Structure 1
């Protein structure tokens, strides 16, 4: 019984990608069907409220922006990473999310996103102030409170 449980654990862990340093992530150009603006529609169980909106922006060069808003905006720049035949978004907070395209939908971070013509005004405002290295053209940036989340610095600790 222990061998079966251990084998199951190993099998479950083989698909995990651990990232320790954001700067070492190799950015992968995005395939054409992933490039653009993606947004949630309707309630999503992974969001804090039915009114919350999740957006993902993907550039051709592989830069990403995970932008979630409800009472405030949390925007996480990231990079597209390819492992085997799968694409992942690695945020600057070292969060790793699988991207799976199914027809007109994108499964991302436990949510279902749909392609849209432009980002929300709040995400466009963030992009106007903090451009990705190669972002899609953003039209009509609007005012709104935007919070940028920076990665935590690792402290070197000495144990004796």
Structure 2
């Protein structure tokens, strides 16, 4: 009996997980209203390596994304939006999956709080342009 209860609890826990086997298999979803644009961390974030680190998240109307993190170097990970069970996720090309919650001009993403910004940092802007060029070449 106890074994069945433990198994039922494990199944319920796993039911909320999102799994993706290949990046190519992810069906890209267009950005919901108000999500398109540039989002950036403001001040220290516990999920970041350092208080000086900056996280930038770019979302296009078509659902393409770029997760750009910078501190001593820039790490930029392209991705795409995915809808599953009325929840929007960002799926990166390395198969990291992050739920996205927007409340006005604030975004909860990967244990960080991001706010809408008008401009990218120069480093993330360069990574964005490089990513757009690479994706056009791949098509």
- In the TM superposition, residue 14 of structure 1 has moved relative to its aligned partner by 1.2
**Aligned residue-pair number:** 134
The Cα shift of 1:11 comes to 1.9
Q: Is the 8 A contact 2:38 2:56 kept in 1?
A: yes
Q: Distance in 1 between matches of 2:14 and 2:40?
A: 29
- Output one character per residue of 1:74-129: Cα deviation in whole Å (capped at 9) or x when no partner: 00000100002100000000000000112321110111111100211101011222
Tell me the distance in 2 between the aligned counterparts of 1:104 and 1:5: 41
SS of 1:131's equivalent?
helix
C-alpha separation between the residues in 2 aligned to 1:52 and 1:7? 41
Q: Is the 8 A contact 2:78 2:131 kept in 1?
A: no
2:13 is matched with 12
Deviation at 1:6, TM superposition (A): 2.9
Q: Which has the higher helix share?
A: 2
TM-score normalised according to structure 1 size: 0.78
Unaligned runs of 5+ in 1: 135-160
- Please give the alpha-carbon distance, in whole angstroms, between the structure 2 residues aligned to 1:88 and 1:49: 25
Aligned Cα root-mean-square deviation (Å): 1.6
1:87-102 equivalences under 5 Å are 87-102=88-103
For 2:7 and 2:103, the matched residues in 1 are separated by 32
Q: Distance in 2 between matches of 1:103 and 1:130?
A: 28
CA distance in 2, matches of 1:34, 1:2: 44
Unmatched runs of 5 consecutive residues or more in structure 2: none
